[in-house]
Structure 1
Amino acid sequence: MVRQSRSVQPARGCQPARDAQVQRDHVEAVLSGIIERRITREQELAQYPTTTLHYVEGEDTDTPHFDRFRDVGGSAAIEDMTNFTTREFNELWLSIRDFVVVNYNVGRGRRSPIKAKDAFFMTLVTLKEGGTWHSLSEIFGLATASFTETVTKFIEMLAPPKLYVEQVQGCCDHTLMRAAATSGNTFSNFPCAL
């Protein structure tokens, strides 16, 4: 006679139900946090007008590419393209403007027709969107070679001296491994890493 083995099922207790409820509460808390953040961002964006204050035919501007997207889509277009609101973008620009004005488009040779703030905008869009150089250059209506050269030169000009010194070396002085370890700011499953 062949015995059929019965699979033993664990007794249904309240532990799995409690775990499921904890997980459900966590997911609900995360979703409500996201909704609150979206509402806060929409309220912040509502403070800025989405239409241009004035439009003069043939008006020359320092940022024709940036202005073209802002004029059509307002602040939401800038946020969609860079993940920064217009205010955040301008704050970032102000933090690097003095350095960029001194170092961008200088030296011998032909000057780039793209203004510094537009080059910064194009760089942020490139870093956010990814994709091919060709598809990114089509967004701005530029030749692929000139777009690629503009973005790479802007990153090479900005990254090592300006961003590294301010963002990395500035934090290294007061964020040491010893301080992080003694304050308990290490990963629980890999304490050697921050």
Structure 2
Amino acid sequence: MNEYIKKYANNTRKSRLQQKILESLFVRSRAHDKVLGDDDNDDIDSPSPIYHQFLRDDTQSIATLTNFAPLEFERLWNSIRAHAADHWNVGRSHKSKQQPKDVLFMFLVVLKHCGKWDVVANVLRIKTGTFQKMILSFAEVVSPYLYEKYVVSAAGKFTMEALVLGDNTFHNYPSARYAPDVTFQQSNMPTGQTSSSRLQSRADIQIFRNNHEFHLQHLLMSSMETELADEGPLTTEHPDSWAVLADKGYQGLAADFRAITPFKKQPLRELTLEQMETNDRIAHDRVLVENYFGRLCTLWAM
């Protein structure tokens, strides 16, 4: 319980600090203009006035607000520009007055800093309900596209055959295709009705199982990969599958997948020396993904 209270307190302090940073940046930027995004504002002649106002005032503020440097933001915008134009803010329903590039900017600000919807909405001078609806509708449009572009395509590019031939497999468990980490989510997730089923209330293993089609597809050995050497664990139970290198939060996953998980200490029983060595080997291979997700959590206040 003490650990929970300490973690909650740390998250609360972090959320307040982020809110102060966010508000100070917006206030400083608004010093040049009366209202952000005001159609009557002639100071910024741009198709995306909100983004370019911050870019004009201080280029470093873009990275502070979004974790993307201006060049990186432009690359991301160029990658989704056509998709956003075809699928967002179209149809007969009420259209947003904001420009797609500005909405992408605000969307990234929400992912990094948002504690409550009204905080970001107020500093942007947008009504809370309108702001929330705009961000969620934009997320529904761009999230599947970004997932296909940067996740699914990467899974297709870095096949197990490519990893083996490139000598890029895990050191102790070369038969492992990838390693999932514990769920990462915003500790200061925006409040309000975001979804009837919230990810943060689900166990990591359940989230993995809910995505079983993706995992089964990318763990399945291709006809060429069946010729590759595979002396890893669970080959008898899953002869046509590569392994997934998981942590203790995925105990029991081996019933459905070729999941390599560390041994868990049982009540009144100590782990054997062999079991501890196995756990050390798994931890050694997983340290890369642990550090990677740890960095993500730091960057995005997850």
Common fold by TM > 0.5: yes
Question: Which residue number corresponds to residue 282 of structure 2?
Answer: 190
Question: Which residue number corresponds to residue 123 of structure 1?
Answer: 107
Question: Which residue number corresponds to residue 166 of structure 1?
Answer: 149
Is residue 225 of structure 2 the alignment partner of residue 133 of structure 1? no
Question: Which residue number corresponds to residue 48 of structure 2?
Answer: 63
Cα RMSD, aligned residues only? 2.5
Q: TM-score if structure 2 supplies the norm length?
A: 0.41
Q: Distance in 2 between matches of 1:61 and 1:173?
A: 38
Q: Distance in 1 between matches of 2:72 and 2:117?
A: 26
Q: How many residues align?
A: 137
- Please state whether the residue corresponding to 1:173 is helix, strand or coil: helix
Equivalent positions of 1:76-155 (< 5 A) are 76-155=60-139
Q: Answer 1 or 2: higher relative contact order, Cα 8 Å, separation at least 6.
A: 2
Show structure 1 runs of 5+ residues with no match: 1-55
Contact 1:180 1:186 survives alignment (8 Å): no
Q: Which of the two has higher C-alpha Rg? A: 1
Question: Which residue number corresponds to residue 75 of structure 1?
Answer: 59
Show structure 2 runs of 5+ residues with no match: 1-40, 173-280, 290-302
Structure with higher helix content: 1
1:41-70, Cα deviation, whole Å (9 max, x unpaired): xxxxxxxxxxxxxxx836553212112222
- Percent identity of equivalent pairs: 28
Q: Which amino acid aligns with 2:51?
A: F
Contact 1:64 1:118 survives alignment (8 Å): yes
Q: Which amino acid aligns with 2:282?
A: F
Question: Which residue number corresponds to residue 259 of structure 2?
Answer: none
Contact 2:66 2:109 survives alignment (8 Å): yes
